[in-house]
Amino acid sequence: MGRRFGILTSGGDCPGLNAVIRGAVLKGETVYGHTYVGFRDGWRGLVYGDILELDRTTVRGLSNQGGTILGTSRFGPYSEPDGGPENIKKVLADLDLQVVIAIGGDGTAAAANRLFNDGINIVGVPKTIDNDLDATDYTFGFNTAVEIATEAIDRLRTTGNSHKRCMVLEVMGRHAGWIALHSGIAGGAHAILIPEHPESLDQICAWVTSVKNRGRAPMVVVAEGFTLPDMKEAYSEKGLDGFNRPRLGGIAEVLAPLIESRTGIETRATVLGHIQRGGVPSAWDRVLATRMGGAVADLVADNGWGHLVALHGTQMARITFDEALGKLKQVRPEYYDEMRVIFG
Ligand code: F6P
């Protein structure tokens, strides 16, 4: 008789989550005879036993849908007063579930590892729009975000050209500037500012001025986690999120008036925000997410508790939570410099 597993999506959403759920359910049901349920709203659904049944019909046509049909939250499994391993073991036993599949980022993997060490059968699927997990070469959702940000650059350029303005586009990227770098390269930005590499205002203004001097409208792309040399931390004025991290966003609004007053060039800021996390996943992300779903069905069939699936090169791989945790994949200086030499 096949076993019964519970899937949850935790942390910030991103395009491709539904394709993972579909991939896992289809392969698990078809190849292994497993049955699945989904926990609603991340760890909260696990702690309170709030589930929905998942089968072939529930996941039909899901791979092109953004968001997550399960809902998500930044609620931790050890949250008081009802969280913790003993309660979770009881919930799983009451629901006749043997395993938890947690789809999420670094915070989710850390919580999953703690539950694993507390005796719960749990596996993971890495997820972040920022593409900053060292465990995997790519996370689904990143490609879609780059497409959306690139389209935003293309659109901002035409209005920037009309008015001969400097346009500053802010994209996501807390610790790593992958979305900024890749969309900036694709969109032909004149300066790309990322968290890994502080740049002085003098340097940014020099690039902007040289673009303007040759008759072009300067296009600057900045990641939300970018800091000027005199900033102690990334710009945040919206308090903390559910995982106690500062809510980022707004560095473009800081930069635009500074650039304008230094250079005399009229400058406008656009913060792309959650637009880049919503909507249909790109074909590339659908493929990766579907493969990750299938790979996690294989993982649970092999009793691979304490592991995450990952993409290494073109192959699906498995690594332990311990190996994956806390290791950021940031933009290497050589890669950034490859592009920086043509800024301005
Ligand atoms: O961690 C992924 C991420 O998209 C970051 O780039 C961003 O800072 C954060 O999530 C936004 O989170 P929220 O959706 O909770 O505002």
The reported pLDDT for the residue numbered 243 is 76
Q: Tell me: do 219 and 285 sit in the same domain.
A: no
The residues near 291 (Cβ < 8 Å, ≥ 6 apart) are 23, 311, 316
The reported pLDDT for the residue numbered 279 is 97
Whether 1 shows a pLDDT value over 60: the answer reads: no
Domain encompassing residue 181: 143-277
The torsion region of residue 322 among left (phi > 0), alpha (psi -120 to 50) and beta comes to alpha
Two structure tokens written together for 195: 């968290």
Which among 106, 130, 132, 285 is annotated as catalytic?
130
Q: Tell me: do 126 and 149 sit in the same domain.
A: no
Q: Tell me: do 167 and 249 sit in the same domain.
A: yes
Residue 60, CB half-sphere, CA atoms under 13 Å: how many?
3
Q: Tell me: do 261 and 208 sit in the same domain.
A: yes
**pTM as predicted:** 0.96
The residues near 304 (Cβ < 8 Å, ≥ 6 apart) are 123, 318
Domain count within the chain: 2
Two structure tokens written together for 148: 């959306």
Whether 216 shows a pLDDT value over 70: the answer reads: yes
Ligand 1: which atom is nearest the Cα of residue 245?
A: 8
* Inter-residue contact 30 to 124 (CB < 8 Å): no
| Average pLDDT value over all residues in the chain | 96
Share of the chain above pLDDT 90, in %: 97
Amino acid at 190: H
Ligand 1 binding residues, C-beta < 6 A: 12, 105, 128-130, 172-174, 224, 241, 247-248
Question: What confidence tens digit (pLDDT) does each residue in 273-299 have?
Answer: 999 999 999 999 999 999 999 999 999
Region 51-70: mean pLDDT is 97
The span from the first CA to the last CA of the chain, in angstroms, equals 64
Q: Tell me: do 147 and 136 sit in the same domain.
A: no
Q: Tell me: do 61 and 82 sit in the same domain.
A: yes
Q: What is the CATH number of the domain that holds 239?
A: 3.40.50.460
Region 319-339: mean pLDDT is 95
Closest CA to 291 of 303, 280, 299, 301: 299
Rg, C-alpha atoms of the chain: 22
Region 305-332: mean pLDDT is 96
Ligand 1: which atom is nearest the Cα of residue 241?
A: 15
Q: Tell me: do 265 and 305 sit in the same domain.
A: no
Ligand 1 pocket mutation, candidates 9, 130, 179, 183, criterion most atoms within 8 A of CB:
130
Asked if 82 is an active-site residue, the reply is no
The sign of the torsion formed by the CA atoms of 25, 29, 34, 35 equals positive
CA dist 297 and 20 (Å) reads 10
* Inter-residue contact 41 to 313 (CB < 8 Å): no
pLDDT level of residue 137 (50, 70, 90 thresholds): very high
Q: Tell me: do 157 and 236 sit in the same domain.
A: yes
Q: Tell me: do 320 and 213 sit in the same domain.
A: no
CA dist 282 and 260 (Å) reads 36
Region 66-82: mean pLDDT is 95
**3-class state of residue 234 by DSSP:** coil
Ligand 1: which atom is nearest the Cα of residue 277?
A: 4
